[in-house]
Amino acid sequence: QAWNDLTGRNSMPPLWALGYQQCRWSYYPEDKVKSVCATFREKNIMADVIWLDIDYMDGYRCFTWNKEYFPNPRKMVDELNASGWKVISMIDPGIKADPNYLIYQQCHKQNDFVVKASSAPDAKDFLGIVWPGDCVFPDFTNVEFQRLWGTFYTDLVHTDGVSGFWNDMNEPSVFECRSKTIPGDAFHPACGENHAFIHNLYGLLMAQSTYNGLKQVNPNVRNFVLSRSGNVGIQRFSWNWTGDNDSSWYDLKAVIPTVLTVSVSGNSGTGCDIG
């Protein structure tokens, strides 16, 4: 109890978040999503939420839709809502380094991205390869950027009707890199620290930015965020899940103590892949 008093308590979840939720990599196109949901109803399997992984995006650009796979997102979401489903979509921290991409354009201001090692004379943005290809990574230690990040959810919430968000890959994960993450000597300009100092806070800061942004965008509901990464106090902003695993006895043995430990450490909204 003293630990919870110190680190904060879970934010109150929406009631629908307590129901069964169906998620996998990956449901697309739109007809596949609707077919999965319809099959649940036909078989009288209770479920409240369907999750959309990265393939709903346009070229894995966050806050966009692939219009070939999902030509009318709002119509699909309304139809699913009408049959008792809520929709959650994934948002990753890696922002495609594309000058024609609106989110990249809006982010590209001083101190908004993690940059290369502070000793580099030009201090260019750190680029890491993730799902979209070359990506930049927001510096969530920048309070002004946190506010900007929150506004990016406006269209997904109000235009498209998405009910919750899944912050994935937010250790942050980087492909084709020995450490599989941002190098420790990369630099966060807003706080003046190397990434080695910020790394374990990155997922927490992303979840905080997302949750606080959603409170501004959608203040009259209980907002839902799930994060793959986290740290002490993340329960104030987000539920946690333990990341990708296999359907194996080894992983089952590992996730049970992990989930229980995270839960008794303050975040009761924690879970793992089950299949």
Asked about 168 being catalytic, the answer comes back as: yes
The C-alpha atoms of residue 225 and residue 206 are separated, in whole angstroms, by: 10
Q: Which of 48, 171, 246, 251 is catalytic?
A: 171
DSSP string, 117-135: -TTSSS-PBP-EEETTEEE
From the list 122, 130, 125, 128, the residue with the least C-alpha distance to 91 is 130
Nearest to 225 by CA among 263, 264, 269, 260: 269
- Please say if 171 is a catalytic residue: yes
Residue 244 is a catalytic residue: yes
Q: How many Cα neighbours within 13 Å face the side chain of 116?
A: 8
Q: Which of 53, 55, 168, 246 is catalytic?
A: 168
The catalytically annotated residue of 244, 246, 251, 273 is 244
The rounded Cα 237 to chain-centroid distance in angstroms is 12
Q: Beginning with the edge strand found earlier in the chain, give each strand of the sheet holding 95-96 in spatial order.
A: 95-96, 133-136, 128-130
Contact 48, 85 (CB under 8 A): yes
Cis peptide before 26 (omega within 30 of 0): yes
The residues that are catalytic are 168, 171, 244
